[in-house]
Amino acid sequence: MKLTLNGRKFKSGNGRKGAAVLEMALVLPLMVMLSLGVVSYGYLIYLKNTFQGAAQAGARAAIPSTATNSSVTGSSGIVTTMMTAAGISSSNYTVTLNPSNVSGVSAGTAITVTISATWGNVGIQALPTCFGGISNSTTITCSATMQKEQ
C-alpha cells in the first residue's frame, strides 16, 4: 500500500522489517550469558561471605576456656548451624581447626578455623567455563584466627 502526502509517494514500511529480529538474534545470547555470569559470580561472593562469617563465628566459639571441638564443628556446633542456615550441607565443605583440639590449649594460643569447599560441590554451573563461568575445581577457602582466652 502506498501513501501519498502532497503528491509524494511513501511506502508503508521503511525496508527494515527483519532488522529487529536480526539485532535480537545477535544481542540476546550475549545478554543471556552476561546475566548467567552475574548470577554465578554473585553466588560466589555470597558463598565467600557465608564461609567467612561461619569461620569467624567458629573462631569466636573456640576461644573461651570451656570450648570444645564439638561446640565449634559438631553437629550442633556454630559452624554447622550457620552453614545449614545458609543451605549448605555439611558433606559439601570441610572445617579445619588449628590446633586440631581447642580444649586444653593454653591462653594466648592462636586458634584458626578454616572452611573450604570446591565450586563443584557448593556452586551452580549456570555458565560453561569456556564462556567465562567458574570452574568446578575452583576452591573457596576462608579462615579466621583468634587468641585463646584465659
- DSSP of 79-136: HHHHHHHTT--GGG-EEEEESS--TTPPTT-EEEEEEEEEHHHHS---S-GGGTPPPT
Cell numbers linked to 94: 570441610
What's the confidence (pLDDT) of residue 14?
60
Neighbouring-strand partners of residue 2: 11
User: Which residues of the chain register pLDDT less than 70?
Assistant: 1-5, 7, 9-17
What's the confidence (pLDDT) of residue 94?
95
What's the confidence (pLDDT) of residue 10?
61
Neighbouring-strand partners of residue 141: 116
Q: What digits encode the pLDDT tens for the residues 24-48?
A: 899 999 999 999 999 999 999 999 9
Q: What is the mean pLDDT of the chain?
A: 89
Contact 124, 40 (CB under 8 A): yes
> Which amino acid is located at 77 in the chain?
G
What's the confidence (pLDDT) of residue 28?
93
